[in-house]
């Protein structure tokens, strides 16, 4: 009965395990499908978000471009007011034919004009430099100190690159990075130089709501940073990663110098070209944009996992509730399938399957004892005492074997009157196992002899056995069977009611 | 059976609750930010403006100082206007007359009289004493900024003239640092041999130097205390002749061609400047490798007046029409008394008046600076110095003098004609100002 109970338990466990596996697989499918859908949806929303943010940055960058253009236009427009009267722009301080008094008076007039037109701007410099480096107006000490050896006029004049307007911009002259210069030619020997501190651009580069780690920079045509909110960057080159992205995407643009928006794995970059070829570059690491998206993704995955786990628990509960009747039915059916109904031990198929499973388990120092028992003259019982008695004998043999061997020994009925036993010992000397097995076999034969007195007297019933003891680790069921069967044959040949033990 | 049924109903109920909860959560997530929900809220800062004039160094440290102020006071946003001194008075006039002046203004001492004769042209700082630590100033120091009983401005530093000479050139000519007018002429004669000049100065310094020479010689003031002209045409002719002589004898470099670069490169031996310009003319020359010596204000033996004046270097004031007096006062207090600002400013405007600023600078070796030594000399001679009359610094009066003087210097008029015309021009300017 204990064996039957154990088999019932075992079959129930297997069924539950099967149900759990189904449930887990199903939950995993739900999780994977949810995760996949999440990935698709969130990836799509991430792309849309990047696109939207890029568009917003582009719109704001365009505004910054307009701001800087307006600022630069103002710086360019004010000097043109010097062209309102010839006395301002045609005066040539290098002309030796002009009387000294006239020079003083002319320069006073020009100085007054410069003061008047430059009154409302924050200029660092606003003055005229003549070909001999003579200056009129506000040419600051800072600018003069950049040219300790002279040559100020020539140094600035070379930045006049616009042939139509006769003007130009420069930044970083002689290593100076705190101001940007605008230069305009007044006459062949005079240029107007005005400058403003790049710090002034802070009031131009106002970004309404700025993203974390977003950088707004103004760079000249050499990618030298003229303005950045990180003031230490001013005068440095644009970070390589951003410059490379811009360079790499140049080929994709219809025009290399046009304003463009770039969305790459690392950055969202917006480059806007100003009126004088300087560029406003807004860049923000893509990960910052997707941070919220990633948080949402993580949240959704957690929710999906939670739901999957919840589903498993609810499923388990429901299965438990719904499958109890089915469970009992399945257990009974399984028992019927695995247990020989007469002897109460395993049927042949189950026995073989169980033994093969044990043999597949990798074990060191294992001694296997395989016994085959065959009743002698059992046919006489059926013939003389009837099949019903024969069945009773089989039942009694099963009971006898189960009472002799403990639960560690696998017992099976492998034929009409044939039984097989499988047991294993670990870390025991083989000789010792052989000795114990012999004692056991003697005991089995003795118990058999005592049990079946009537049957022996009337029908000559006894029992023969073949025992195979082996320490081979890679032995198969077939080999075991054949060896034990060979030993059984020897017992039969030797006169029955005995056992033969062979080692392998 | 009944127990099982209850349990099933409970499980069903639980599942419905979970499902409804999930649907509500999804709807809430999907609708976040919609339907007029406030997602950001930005508090507006109080915007104030400040203005100053000066050189590159002043622009740089003042802008840096504003950054520090804004870090300390994130609720106050400060924008600024600045420019060089030349033309700045005109700029200030435009702002003051159009009532568009900055909330906090660096002002010249002379502007107190010009824009706040009755004390109403600037905010009364006494009313903002909760925000400005006035204890850092003595009554005498505060007195420079009081007009009609109202504290219109506070001085940043006290200022007077000082002289700096290229000692290497003096050594070359075998001369001592000039102490008298004769010493200057002697230096001019030596410098002329190298086509150099004894001193180079700006238009305003020229005017003040001429005043000093006249007052030492005549024992009379050029201006009355009310700013009107005290000098007559004869006195002005005396000044014009002296001016021409100085030019002719290479004592003075022509004002129109005076260039700091020429002084730095050794084309001019010395200069007269404000103590507050020491960084530019003394430290600047020393940085070229030249040895620099400080000179004394030239004196005439037996003079009844020294002709040497003192004034607050520059002052901070608050616009009378400011819409944010408290915030402006916080900024003004920072500019005058904050140790961080004092350390940024150093002695660029001269030795500070504020005790708190002096204390901050003492930690950084204030007593070793050239400005400190110049101020020490000023304090030693304080008894013979007078408080500057605002007209002495008035750019229009100075322009009238310079423009008139040019007619004589360039031989377009006789000295008498020029003195008469110049005197009239100067009086006209003063009368216009009074009107």
pLDDT at A151: 93
Q: How many angstroms separate the CA atoms of A152 and A266, rounded?
A: 44
Q: How many angstroms separate the CA atoms of B106 and B91, rounded?
A: 13
pLDDT at A337: 74
Q: How many angstroms separate the CA atoms of A297 and A299, rounded?
A: 5
3-state secondary structure of A406: coil
Q: What is the pLDDT of residues B46-96, one digit of tens each?
A: 999 999 999 888 999 999 999 999 999 999 999 999 998 888 888 999 999
- Confidence tier at A58 by pLDDT (50, 70, 90): confident
CB B401 within 8 A of CB B208: no
Q: Looking at the partner chain, which of A199, A209, A318 has a beta carbon nearest the beta carbon of B11?
A: A318
Question: Quick one: residue B95, left, alpha or beta (phi over 0 = left, psi -120 to 50 = alpha)?
Answer: alpha
Give me the sign of the Cα torsion angle A73, A76, A81, A86. Answer: negative
Strands (E) in B204-344, as ranges, are: 268-274, 292-295, 309-312, 315-318
Written as six digits, the tokens of A299 are: 């949240």
Q: What is the pLDDT of residues A246-255, one digit of tens each?
A: 887 765 544 4
Q: How many angstroms separate the CA atoms of B405 and B420, rounded?
A: 11
Written as six digits, the tokens of B343 are: 């350390």
3-state secondary structure of B364: coil
pLDDT at A326: 64
Q: Measured between alpha carbons, how far is residue B10 from residues A316, A319, B16, B386 in Å?
A: 15, 15, 10, 100
- For residue A187, give the H/E element and its range: strand A179-187
- Confidence tier at A7 by pLDDT (50, 70, 90): very low
The residue that leads in pLDDT, A295 or A409, is: A409
Written as six digits, the tokens of A473 are: 């680790």
- Confidence tier at B11 by pLDDT (50, 70, 90): low
Q: What is the pLDDT of residues A452-472, one digit of tens each?
A: 998 888 888 999 999 999 998
Minimum distance, in Å, between the CA of residue B307 and any CA atom of chain A: 29
pLDDT at A255: 45
For the beta carbon of residue B177, count every other beta carbon within 10 angstroms.
16
Burial class (CB in 10 A: 0-12, 13-18, 19+), B17: exposed
Q: Indicate if the pLDDT at residue A150 is higher than 80.
A: yes
Kindly determine whether residue A115 and residue B80, on different chains, have CB atoms separated by under 8 Å: no
CB A178 within 8 A of CB A184: no
Q: Looking at the partner chain, which of B25, B261, B410 has a beta carbon nearest the beta carbon of A144?
A: B261
Q: Measured between alpha carbons, how far is residue B126 from residues A325, B153, B154, B325 in Å?
A: 96, 10, 11, 12
Contacts of B280 in chain A (CB under 8 A): 141
Least confident piece of the model among A124-128, A500-504, B384-388? B384-388
Backbone dihedral angles phi then psi of residue A370, each to the nearest 5 degrees: -115, 125
Instruction: Indicate the DSSP class of residue A428.
Output: -
Minimum distance, in Å, between the CA of residue B268 and any CA atom of chain A: 16
Least confident piece of the model among A260-274, B230-244, B408-422? A260-274
pLDDT at A101: 92
- Confidence tier at A323 by pLDDT (50, 70, 90): low
Written as six digits, the tokens of A354 are: 């169980």
Q: Looking at the partner chain, which of B22, B94, B256 has a beta carbon nearest the beta carbon of A119?
A: B94
Q: Please count the residues of chain A.
A: 504
Q: What is the pLDDT of residues A157-200, one digit of tens each?
A: 999 999 899 999 999 899 898 899 999 999 999 999 999 998 88
Q: Top-level CATH class of A348-503?
A: alpha beta
For range B173-179, the mean pLDDT: 95
Minimum distance, in Å, between the CA of residue A33 and any CA atom of chain B: 17
pLDDT at B39: 54
Give residue A87's Cα distance to chain centre: 74
CB B339 within 8 A of CB B360: yes
Q: How many angstroms separate the CA atoms of B392 and B211, rounded?
A: 9
Kindly determine whether residue A321 and residue B7, on different chains, have CB atoms separated by under 8 Å: yes
CB A181 within 8 A of CB A194: yes
Give residue A304's Cα distance to chain centre: 17
3-state secondary structure of B386: strand
Q: Is B93 on the interface with A (CB under 8 A)?
A: no
Percent of chain B whose predicted confidence (pLDDT) is above 90: 63
Average pLDDT, chain B: 89
Q: Please count the residues of chain B.
A: 435
pLDDT at A214: 82
CB B352 within 8 A of CB B155: no
pTM more than 0.80: no
Q: Indicate if the pLDDT at residue A110 is higher than 50.
A: yes
- Number of H helices and E strands in chain A, helices first, is 13, 15
Instruction: Indicate the DSSP class of residue A149.
Output: T
Kindly determine whether residue A107 and residue B79, on different chains, have CB atoms separated by under 8 Å: no
Q: How many angstroms separate the CA atoms of B86 and A385, rounded?
A: 142
3-state secondary structure of B249: coil
Q: Is B22 on the interface with A (CB under 8 A)?
A: yes
Q: How many angstroms separate the CA atoms of B231 and B426, rounded?
A: 11
Please name the fold of domain B159-310+386-434.
Answer: D-Maltodextrin-Binding Protein; domain 2 (3.40.190)
Please give the full DSSP string across A212-281, using - where no structure is assigned. Answer: TT-EEEEE-TT-BEEEESSGGGTTSBPPHHHHHHHHHHHTTSSSTTS-EEEE-SSEEEEEEE-TTS-EEE
Q: Indicate if the pLDDT at residue B142 is higher than 70.
A: yes
pLDDT at A258: 65
Largest CA distance in chain B: 133
Largest CA distance in chain A: 162
Average pLDDT, chain A: 85
For range A128-151, the mean pLDDT: 91
- Confidence tier at B26 by pLDDT (50, 70, 90): low
Q: How many angstroms separate the CA atoms of A484 and A471, rounded?
A: 14
Q: How many angstroms separate the CA atoms of A32 and B145, rounded?
A: 79
For range A285-302, the mean pLDDT: 77
Q: Measured between alpha carbons, how far is residue A175 from residues A51, A148, A321, B61, B381 in Å?
A: 39, 13, 84, 20, 44
CB A267 within 8 A of CB A283: yes
Written as six digits, the tokens of A160 are: 């006049």
Q: Indicate if the pLDDT at residue A10 is higher than 80.
A: no
Q: Indicate if the pLDDT at residue A270 is higher than 90.
A: no
- Tell me how many degrees the CA angle B352-B354-B358 measures, rounded to the nearest 5: 60
ipTM: 0.78
Contacts of A115 in chain B (CB under 8 A): 86-87, 90-91
- Confidence tier at B371 by pLDDT (50, 70, 90): confident
- Confidence tier at B37 by pLDDT (50, 70, 90): low
Percent of chain B whose predicted confidence (pLDDT) is above 70: 90
Give residue A214's Cα distance to chain centre: 26
What residues does each domain of chain A span?
1-336, 348-503
Q: Indicate if the pLDDT at residue A288 is higher than 90.
A: no
Kindly determine whether residue B7 and residue A115, on different chains, have CB atoms separated by under 8 Å: no
Please give the full DSSP string across B84-124, using - where no structure is assigned. Answer: -STTHHHHHHHHHHTT---SEEEE-HHHHHHH-TTS-SB--
CB B253 within 8 A of CB B200: yes
A:180-219 residues touching chain B, CB 8 A cutoff: 197, 199, 203, 209
Q: What would the CATH number be for the domain defined by B46-157+313-362?
A: 3.40.190.10
B:398-417 residues touching chain A, CB 8 A cutoff: 403, 406, 410, 412
Minimum distance, in Å, between the CA of residue B4 and any CA atom of chain A: 8
What residues does each domain of chain B span?
46-157+313-362, 159-310+386-434
Backbone dihedral angles phi then psi of residue B121, each to the nearest 5 degrees: -75, -25
Q: What is the pLDDT of residues B87-120, one digit of tens each?
A: 888 899 999 999 999 999 999 988 998 899 899 9
CB B308 within 8 A of CB B185: no
Kindly determine whether residue A122 and residue B81, on different chains, have CB atoms separated by under 8 Å: yes
Q: Looking at the partner chain, which of A108, A141, A317 has a beta carbon nearest the beta carbon of B56?
A: A141
């Amino acid at each position: 009965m204990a064996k039957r109970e154990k088999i019932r338990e075992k079959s129930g466990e297997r069924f539950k395990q099967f149900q759990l596996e189904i449930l887990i697989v199903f939950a995993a499918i739900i999780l994977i499908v949810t995760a996949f859908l999440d990935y698709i949806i969130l990836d799509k929303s991430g792309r849309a978000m990047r696109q939207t943010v890029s568009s917003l940055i582009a719109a704001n960058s365009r505004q910054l471009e307009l701001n800087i253009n307006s600022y630069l236009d103002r710086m360019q427009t004010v000097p043109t007011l010097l062209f309102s009267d010839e006395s301002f722009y045609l005066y040539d301080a290098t002309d030796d034919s002009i009387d000294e008094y006239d020079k003083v008076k002319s320069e006073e007039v020009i100085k007054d004009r410069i003061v008047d037109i430059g009154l409302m701007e924050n200029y660092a410099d606003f003055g005229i430099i003549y070909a001999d480096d003579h200056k009129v107006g506000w040419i600051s000490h800072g600018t003069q100190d950049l040219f300790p050896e002279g040559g100020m006029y020539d140094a600035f004049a070379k930045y006049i690159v616009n042939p139509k307007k006769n003007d130009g911009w420069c930044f970083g002259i002689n290593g100076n990075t705190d101001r940007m210069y605008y230069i305009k030619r007044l006459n062949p020997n005079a240029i107007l130089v005005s400058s403003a501190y790049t710090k002034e651009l802070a009031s131009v580069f106002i970004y309404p709501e700025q993203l974390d780690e977003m950088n707004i920079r103004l760079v000249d045509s050499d990618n030298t940073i003229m303005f950045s909110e990180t003031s230490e960057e001013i005068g440095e080159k644009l970070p390589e990663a951003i410059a490379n992205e811009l360079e790499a995407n140049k080929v994709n643009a219809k025009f290399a110098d046009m304003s463009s928006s770039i969305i790459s794995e690392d950055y969202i970059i917006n480059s806007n070209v100003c009126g004088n070829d300087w560029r406003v570059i807004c860049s923000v690491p893509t990960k910052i944009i997707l941070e919220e998206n990633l948080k949402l993704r993580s949240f959704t995955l957690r929710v999906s996992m939670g739901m999957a786990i919840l589903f498993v628990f609810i499923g388990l509960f429901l299965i438990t509730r719904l499958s109890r009747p089915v469970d009992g039915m399945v257990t009974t059916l399984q028992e019927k399938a695995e247990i020989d109904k007469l002897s109460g031990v395993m049927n042949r198929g189950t026995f073989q399957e169980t033994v093969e499973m044990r043999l597949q388990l990798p074990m060191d120092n294992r001694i296997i004892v395989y016994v085959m028992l065959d009743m002698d003259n059992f046919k006489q019982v059926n013939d003389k005492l009837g099949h019903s008695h024969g069945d009773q004998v089989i039942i009694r043999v099963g009971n006898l074997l189960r009472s002799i061997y403990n639960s560690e020994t696998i017992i099976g009925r492998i034929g009409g009157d044939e039984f097989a036993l499988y047991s294993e010992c670990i870390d025991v000397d083989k000789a010792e196992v052989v000795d114990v097995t012999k004692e056991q076999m003697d005991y089995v034969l003795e118990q058999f002899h005592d049990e079946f007195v009537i049957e022996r007297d009337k029908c000559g019933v006894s029992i023969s056995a073949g025992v195979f003891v082996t320490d081979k680790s890679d032995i198969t069921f077939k080999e075991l069977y054949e060896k034990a069967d060979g030993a059984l044959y020897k017992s039969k040949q030797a006169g029955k009611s005995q056992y033969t033990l062979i080692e392998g | 059976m009944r127990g099982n049924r209850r349990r099933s109903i409970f499980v069903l109920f639980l599942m419905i609750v979970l499902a409804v909860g999930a649907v509500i959560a999804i709807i809430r997530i999907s609708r976040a930010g919609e339907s007029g929900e406030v997602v950001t809220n930005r508090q507006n800062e109080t915007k104030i403006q400040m203005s100053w004039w000066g050189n590159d160094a002043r622009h740089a440290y003042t802008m840096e100082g504003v950054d520090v102020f804004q870090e300390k006071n994130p609720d106050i946003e400060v924008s600024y206007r600045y420019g060089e001194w030349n033309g700045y008075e005109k700029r200030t006039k435009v702002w003051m007359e159009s009532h568009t002046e900055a909330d906090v203004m660096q002002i010249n001492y002379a502007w107190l009289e010009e824009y706040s004769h009755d004390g109403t042209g600037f905010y009364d700082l006494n009313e903002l004493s909760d925000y400005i630590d006035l204890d850092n100033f003595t009554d005498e120091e505060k007195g420079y900024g009081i007009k009609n009983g109202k504290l219109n401005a506070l001085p940043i530093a006290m200022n007077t003239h000082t002289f700096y000479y290229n000692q290497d050139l003096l050594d070359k000519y075998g001369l001592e640092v000039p102490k008298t007018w004769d010493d200057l002429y002697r230096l001019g004669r030596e410098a002329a041999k190298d086509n150099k000049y004894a001193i180079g100065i700006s238009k305003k310094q020229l005017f003040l130097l001429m005043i000093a020479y006249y007052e030492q010689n005549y024992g009379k003031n050029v201006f009355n205390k009310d700013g009107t002209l005290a000098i007559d045409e004869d006195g002005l002719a005396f000044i014009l002749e002296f001016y021409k002589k100085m030019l002719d004898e290479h004592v003075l470099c022509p004002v129109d061609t005076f260039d700091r670069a020429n002084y730095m490169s050794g084309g001019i031996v010395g200069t007269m400047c404000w103590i507050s310009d020491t960084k530019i003319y003394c430290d600047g020359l020393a940085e070229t490798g030249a040895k620099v010596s400080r000179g004394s204000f030239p004196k005439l033996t037996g003079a009844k007046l020294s002709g040497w004046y003192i004034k607050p270097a520059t002052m901070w004031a608050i616009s009378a029409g400011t819409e944010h007096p408290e915030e402006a006062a916080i900024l003004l207090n920072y500019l005058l008394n904050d140790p961080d600002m004092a350390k940024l400013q150093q002695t660029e405007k001269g030795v500070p008046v504020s005790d708190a600023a002096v204390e901050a600078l003492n930690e950084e070796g204030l007593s070793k600076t050239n400005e400190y030594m110049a101020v020490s000399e000023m304090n030693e001679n304080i008894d013979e110095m007078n408080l500057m009359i605002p007209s002495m610094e008035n750019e229009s009066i100075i322009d009238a003098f310079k423009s008139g003087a040019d007619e004589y210097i360039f031989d377009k008029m006789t000295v008498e004609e020029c003195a008469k015309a110049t005197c009239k021009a100067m009086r006209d300017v003063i009368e216009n100002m009074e009107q």
